[in-house]
Amino acid sequence: MEHRYFSRRSSPGDSSPHSGLTGPAEIPEPPTERPSGLGGRLQSVREAAVGTMAALPRVMRLVWEASPGLTIGLALATILAGFIPAATAYAAKLLINAVLAAIRVRADHLPDQGVLPLPFHTIQSPGLTTTGALVVLAGIQFFIFATNSGLGTLRNITQQLLQERVSLTIQLMVMEHAARLDLPFFEESSSYDLLRRAQTDAANRPVAMISTTFGLLQTGITFASMVLLLLGLSPWLALVALVTPVPAFINDTKYGWRGYNIARWASPIRRRMQYLTTLVTTDSFAKEVKLFGLGGYFVQRFQLLASTYYDRQRRLVTTRYVLGNLWGLLTTLAGSATYLYVAFQAVAGRLTLGDLTLYTSAATSVQSSIQGLLSGFSSMYEHNLYLSNLYEFLGTPVSVLRPENPTPIPKPLRGEIVFDNVSFNYPGTGAQALANVSFRIEPGQTLAVVGRNGAGKSTLIKLLCRLYDPSGGRILIDGIDIREFDPDELRASIAAMFQDYVSYQATASENIGLGDLPQLENRPAIASAADRGGAAELISGLPDQYETPLGKWFDQGANLSGGEWQKLALSRAFMRQAPILVLDEPTSSLDAQAEYELFARLRKLSQGRTAIYISHRFSTVRQADRILFLEHGRLVEEGTHQDLMRLGGRYAALFNMQASAYTGDPVEAVS
């Protein structure tokens, strides 16, 4: 069977590490199994016990913080239920013995033949009438059953509500930590596997683990009370009941670990399956998928991945439960032998019928209790394995650190920017994105950054916004290294629009107002930003103007073109009245007229600000005060448009190339 992500041509022998829609990435085998053999298995059980017990306090703290009241309710309902089986068995013994006593008394008082027997209620016992004793015992039994039912109801209510609270709490924890993490985290595929596991695998585990813990206490109480009853009959029976479930427990622990490993192995596969589903079911991709006829291809790729994933799960589940059933037969055999022994004791007259009921019930309960204790611990171990994904994610460190005593942002911030011998390598790659780049921007100056794709233009902007820290050198704003500032305060001083701007599925007003969150409800400020970004005319034509939902994901909103979305993103950048303005390819989706209008008024829009913008269109950057030309991460030319044209270097060559594409004629080297 083909074990590739997408490629039809891939072969089992090809182990190329490439991935993507057409790459021959091979689905790897799941991790190898833990050490085998009795010694290895026992060592694994010891490690599981230590790890699970060590993790229990933090899980309990998580559940408690979600809802103390529900946690207490679940604990009480579960633990009190532990006394019910012993009380039920003992009440059944008393009731059966009372019935037998009543039958014997009735037989002793039968009159001669032909005379009606005495009424049942007239038969006397040392304390109560026999009828009264039976009524009291039946009432006690009813109380036990009603209590058990009430505790079960309370447990169901508290567990379900607590599950919802904890699931929401975990989602909030994931979102809050993700909001703190830096850009490098989101540029690693392994990060998305970890995120998916933290969100999906761990969501239901804390309550399940705590509920299992309380269940272990309940089972422990039941076990202890029943063992005391069983010891009164035979210590050997108690020992057999204790030992026989152990092999099934070891088997369950082994397959719990294997199931977790397969879940980790399958995480990127499940994520890729979700991506394929998104390609076929989302409006963002629908046009191209329809045009190129890709729907069937993506469905086939999904089927390949789903088949591989399902085959692994089927093998695991089948083996786990078949072997578990076989080991469970050992417990069943021990239970049957216990019933036989108790029956022989009753036939020999050593036990009453009530004793027979009590001890058979005790033997069954002891076996099921020890089995419940072991399987409960196995479940706790398995839950803890999956929960480790959550804590692994929450333990992911922030790479762009806030200084212990940050320097306050100067008020007012003049906007002088200095790159001092700055170098940067993206994590996990050998390529150098920037190499020893140095330049200075005067306060209030407009700077254009140009160069071919991959020259390092966007990297320069990311470093200025401190989405990364330089590998070497430093960046100064108003003479202060930006690493001395609080990152949040630094970013609040920068208004920006990135090349890969976001199209929010929200109203037009919100799409702009999100650029300055405290002003989200300030309609005049939003209208002013829309006017500066060129979106005012667009919004005036929408059905509900600023209150019109945009996008089709959640409401029957308006669909916009790429250029219209870009105007909203520009308006969002102008929403923040920050002293530094950064625009990364702000006109890539605009038509020629909109682009010309934007740059014609860019000086006015950036008045009093230090402005940096990136563009591939050299005809628009000529209006900048200074131009930087980057190539392969190095600053190779800088100056005004006139300076660079006179230089006749790379900038002039590319400018002439673009200009001739419009006019059909070569352009003079000096402008």
Question: Above 80 in pLDDT, residue 55?
Answer: no
Q: Which of 368, 340, 419 is nearest to 86 (CA)?
A: 368
In the DSSP assignment, the letter for residue 395 is: T
Question: Above 50 in pLDDT, residue 19?
Answer: no
- 379 SS3 class: helix
Report the chain's mean pLDDT, rounded to a whole number: 75
Question: Above 80 in pLDDT, residue 100?
Answer: no
Give per-residue burial for 625-643: e unless 16+ CB within 10 Å, then b.
Answer: ebbbbbbebbbebbeebee
Question: How many C-beta atoms surround the C-beta of residue 11 within 10 A?
Answer: 10
With a CB cutoff of 8 Å and minimum separation 6, the contacts of 514 are 504, 506, 520, 572, 575
d(CA 535, CA 528): 10
**What pLDDT digit, counting tens, does each position of 498-516 carry?**
888 888 888 889 889 888 8
Beta strands across the sheet bearing 494-497: 494-497, 580-584, 610-614, 446-451, 626-631, 634-639
Q: What is the pLDDT of residue 552?
A: 75
Task: Determine the average pLDDT of the residues in 523-530.
Answer: 91
Residues for the chain: how many in total? 671
In the DSSP assignment, the letter for residue 415 is: -
Q: What is the pLDDT of residue 241?
A: 64
Query: Quick check: bond before 206 cis, omega within 30?
Result: no
HSE (side-chain half, CA atoms, 13 Å) at 480: 15
Q: Which of 419, 468, 454, 465 is nearest to 440 (CA)?
A: 419
Classified by CATH at the fold level, domain 443-493+579-671 comes out as Rossmann fold (3.40.50)
HSE (side-chain half, CA atoms, 13 Å) at 571: 31
In sequence order, what are the beta bridge partners of 584? Answer: 614
Structure tokens at 481: 């290294």
Give per-residue burial for 464-495: e unless 16+ CB within 10 Å, then b.
Answer: bbbbbbbbebbbebbebebbebebeebbebbb
Q: What is the pLDDT of residue 119?
A: 41
- Start-end of H helices in 83-204: 84-108, 130-180, 189-196
Question: Above 60 in pLDDT, residue 456?
Answer: yes
In the DSSP assignment, the letter for residue 32 is: P
More confident call, 474 vs 587: 474
Question: Above 80 in pLDDT, residue 242?
Answer: no
Question: Above 70 in pLDDT, residue 273?
Answer: yes
pLDDT-derived band at 10 (thresholds 50, 70, 90) equals very low
Q: Which of 204, 220, 217, 251 is nearest to 378 (CA)?
A: 251
**What pLDDT digit, counting tens, does each position of 410-440 carry?**
888 898 999 999 999 887 666 788 999 999 9
More confident call, 237 vs 473: 473
Structure tokens at 532: 């500066």
Task: Determine the average pLDDT of the residues in 285-313.
Answer: 76
Q: Cβ distance 206 to 387 under 8 Å?
A: yes
Task: Determine the average pLDDT of the residues in 224-247.
Answer: 67
Q: What is the pLDDT of residue 23?
A: 35
- Residue type for 275, please? Y
pLDDT-derived band at 240 (thresholds 50, 70, 90) equals low
**What pLDDT digit, counting tens, does each position of 387-412 carry?**
777 888 888 888 888 888 889 988 88
Q: What is the pLDDT of residue 122?
A: 39
- Residue ranges per structural domain of the chain: 51-394, 443-493+579-671, 502-577
Question: Above 60 in pLDDT, residue 277?
Answer: yes
Question: How many C-beta atoms surround the C-beta of residue 267 within 10 A?
Answer: 20
Structure tokens at 282: 């989302």
CA dihedral 70, 74, 80, 86 (to 10 degrees): 160
Question: Above 90 in pLDDT, residue 375?
Answer: no
Q: What is the pLDDT of residue 261?
A: 67
Q: Cβ distance 171 to 163 under 8 Å?
A: no
In the numeric block, the tokens 């392969």 are attached to: 632
Q: Which of 176, 210, 178 is nearest to 194 (CA)?
A: 178
Q: Cβ distance 463 to 472 under 8 Å?
A: no
d(CA 671, CA 669): 7
Q: What is the pLDDT of residue 65?
A: 83
- Residue type for 487, please? P
The answer to whether the 51-394 and 443-493+579-671 domains have the same CATH topology is no
The pLDDT > 70 percentage for the chain reads: 69
More confident call, 565 vs 200: 565
Q: Cβ distance 65 to 75 under 8 Å?
A: no
Residues 239-242: contacts with CB within 8 Å, 24+ apart?
240/334, 240/337, 240/338, 241/334, 241/338, 241/363, 241/366, 241/367, 241/370, 242/366, 242/370
**What pLDDT digit, counting tens, does each position of 531-573 carry?**
888 888 889 888 888 888 887 777 677 888 888 888 898 888 8
Can you state the angle between helices 84-108 and 205-231, rounded to 10 degrees?
Answer: 40
Q: Cβ distance 439 to 391 under 8 Å?
A: no
Q: What is the pLDDT of residue 480?
A: 92
Q: Rounded to whole angstroms, what are the CA distances from 469 to 384, 393, 435? A: 35, 22, 14
Task: Determine the average pLDDT of the residues in 98-108.
Answer: 68
Q: Cβ distance 260 to 382 under 8 Å?
A: yes
Task: Determine the average pLDDT of the residues in 243-251.
Answer: 67
d(CA 345, CA 444): 101
In CATH, the architecture of 51-394 is: Up-down Bundle (1.20)
Question: Above 90 in pLDDT, residue 481?
Answer: yes
Q: Which of 418, 415, 450 is nearest to 640 (CA)?
A: 450
Task: Determine the average pLDDT of the residues in 82-97.
Answer: 77
Q: What is the pLDDT of residue 254?
A: 65
**What pLDDT digit, counting tens, does each position of 603-657 carry?**
777 777 898 988 877 767 887 889 999 988 899 999 989 998 998 888 888 888 8
Residue 449 φ/ψ, nearest 5 degrees: -120, 125
Helix (H) or strand (E) holding 199: none
In sequence order, what are the beta bridge partners of 32? Answer: none
pLDDT-derived band at 478 (thresholds 50, 70, 90) equals very high
- Burial classification of residue 362, based on how many CB atoms lie within 10 Å of its CB (0-12 exposed, 13-18 middle, 19 or more buried): buried
- Residue type for 149, please? S
Q: What is the pLDDT of residue 176?
A: 82
d(CA 363, CA 40): 32
**What pLDDT digit, counting tens, does each position of 323-351 carry?**
777 776 766 676 667 667 766 766 777 76
Record the pTM.
0.65
DSSP string, 225-271: HHHHHHHTT-HHHHHHHHHTTHHHHHHHHHHHHHHHHHHHHHHHHHH
- 549 SS3 class: strand
Structure tokens at 15: 């182990």
The pLDDT > 90 percentage for the chain reads: 7
Q: Rounded to whole angstroms, what are the CA distances from 463 to 30, 184, 438, 576? A: 39, 12, 13, 20
